[in-house]
Homo-oligomer: A and B are copies of this chain.
């Protein structure tokens, strides 16, 4: 039997979203989480701190969705009006929750600070709502109206995430039955989106469950396979043969499964081969190391980075031969190789990675923005790759990071053959 999946809508509240001062990353986090329990997010929205427009957006969402998750506007200041707007949308009045009021008072007392009386408005919830205890200082709540569950969570990402995990997901999982959506990715580096799509066009054509889509950015292109079924194993069984066919077609261009980023795949290969790693970075300014240390436990294999932004630092800190800089410049395959070797030598690691290039917008050493060289040194063997960066400065730096990691990955895997 195939159950109908719950339909959900995610609404961000806050004029800062509409002014572009922050990106709505909460919508992304919530969508990812709801997908794992088989809830279909069909709409995202954002509105400013305006009572009428919030109320209208919530009414529309209640009409068309089974679940609405609202973030933001639950703080103590006068522009925090989400609770009032939701109360209006569900035709109820605001009532003070005395237990929450006590928690808020206690928070200030415990810190020996005086509580502005206005903070107690955070304990005012639509009548009949279920309070969600604060993770930081703002409480959340949820309320049911016309068979739709409306969740209100703070806009601060980590407070939102904790409530999502502890309250929203269990509550919705209990309603949605066993329907699940499972997504798997096949990640590639250095292939364009069109080339990737063309390479597997016939496999894509033949599919409806899983559905297949393409995502590109930062020098990577990924295939996303999304299957729906009653249980996770059933969804995985639908994906498995299609993913296998795609991986067989792409060969080494498809990164190893199990990790969601090039940094994650590389880290897992380095760990699996007992290789220690260091980097020497020019145009990425530390970003390559930052990617390798995003997840906990990187100290298992990652020693550190030499960020050598100036030519002098390349010479003095990473030990690049002045003759190389003289003959080829800092933006060259030769310099990239010397940097990778330097990183491995200085940190005494098995692997050294490097990046150098022109992130733009101006030219450098007479070279165009987008001219990027990455190199890897793996136990005595070194290789460089010329990569074409594209897009803005931030994207070019990502292209460099991902290309360096992919080059080292291929060298390690090839050495194992």
**Chain A interface residues (CB < 8 Å from chain B):** 12, 15-25, 27-35, 40-50, 53, 57, 75-77, 79, 116, 136-137, 156-158, 161, 181, 183, 193-194, 197-198, 201, 211, 213-217, 224, 226, 279, 281, 283-290, 292-294, 296, 298-299, 302-310, 312-313, 316-317, 346-348, 359-362, 390-395, 397
Contact flag A304-B313 (CB < 8 Å), given A17-B31, A42-B18 = yes
Are B309 and A302 touching (Cβ within 8 A)? Answer: yes
Residue of B nearest to A226 (CB): B19
Are B312 and A303 touching (Cβ within 8 A)? Answer: yes
A274 CB → nearest B CB, Å:
15
Are B308 and A304 touching (Cβ within 8 A)? Answer: yes
Q: Which residues in B have their C-beta under 8 angstroms from that of A298? A: 285, 309
Are B23 and A24 touching (Cβ within 8 A)? Answer: yes
Q: Which residues in B have their C-beta under 8 angstroms from that of A287? A: 286-287, 290
Q: What 4 pairs across the A-B complex have the smallest Cβ distances?
A: A285-B293, A286-B286, A286-B289, A20-B32
Are B43 and A19 touching (Cβ within 8 A)? Answer: no
A sample of 20 cross-chain residue pairs with beta-carbon separation below 8 angstroms, ordered by A number, consists of A19-B35, A20-B31, A20-B32, A21-B28, A22-B28, A22-B217, A23-B28, A43-B57, A45-B46, A157-B217, A158-B391, A281-B289, A285-B290, A285-B292, A286-B287, A296-B362, A303-B310, A304-B317, A307-B307, A316-B348
Are B22 and A29 touching (Cβ within 8 A)? Answer: no
Are A157 and B24 touching (Cβ within 8 A)? Answer: no
Contact flag A309-B313 (CB < 8 Å), given A21-B215, A31-B19, A226-B19 = no
Are B296 and A303 touching (Cβ within 8 A)? Answer: no
A20: contacting residue among B30, B193, B289, B312, CB under 8 A = B30
A44: contacting residue among B24, B29, B296, CB under 8 A = B24
A346 CB → nearest B CB, Å:
6
Q: Which residues in B have their C-beta under 8 angstroms from that of A198? A: 116
Q: Give the number of copies in the complex.
A: 2
Tell me the interface secondary structure of chain A in the complex.
Answer: mixed
Are B303 and A309 touching (Cβ within 8 A)? Answer: yes
A286: contacting residue among B19, B50, B79, B293, CB under 8 A = B293
A310 to B348, CA, bound (A): 12
A290 to B286, CA, bound (A): 5
Q: Which residues in B have their C-beta under 8 angstroms from that of A57? A: 43
A11 CB → nearest B CB, Å:
10
Q: Which residues in B have their C-beta under 8 angstroms from that of A158? A: 390-392, 395
Are B21 and A224 touching (Cβ within 8 A)? Answer: yes
Q: Which residues in B have their C-beta under 8 angstroms from that of A216? A: 156
A369 CB → nearest B CB, Å:
10
A352 CB → nearest B CB, Å:
13
A360: contacting residue among B20, B296, B348, B391, CB under 8 A = B296
A211 to B392, CA, bound (A): 32
Are B157 and A395 touching (Cβ within 8 A)? Answer: yes
Q: Which residues in B have their C-beta under 8 angstroms from that of A35? A: 19-20
A392 CB → nearest B CB, Å:
5
Among A19, A213, A306, max chain B CB count under 10 A is at: A19
A46: contacting residue among B16, B23, B43, CB under 8 A = B43
A294: contacting residue among B15, B215, B394, CB under 8 A = B394
A259 CB → nearest B CB, Å:
15
Apart from the given pairs A158-B390, A296-B359, 9 other A-B contacts in the complex at a CB distance below 8 Å = A17-B28, A18-B31, A20-B33, A42-B53, A45-B45, A156-B217, A287-B287, A294-B393, A296-B362
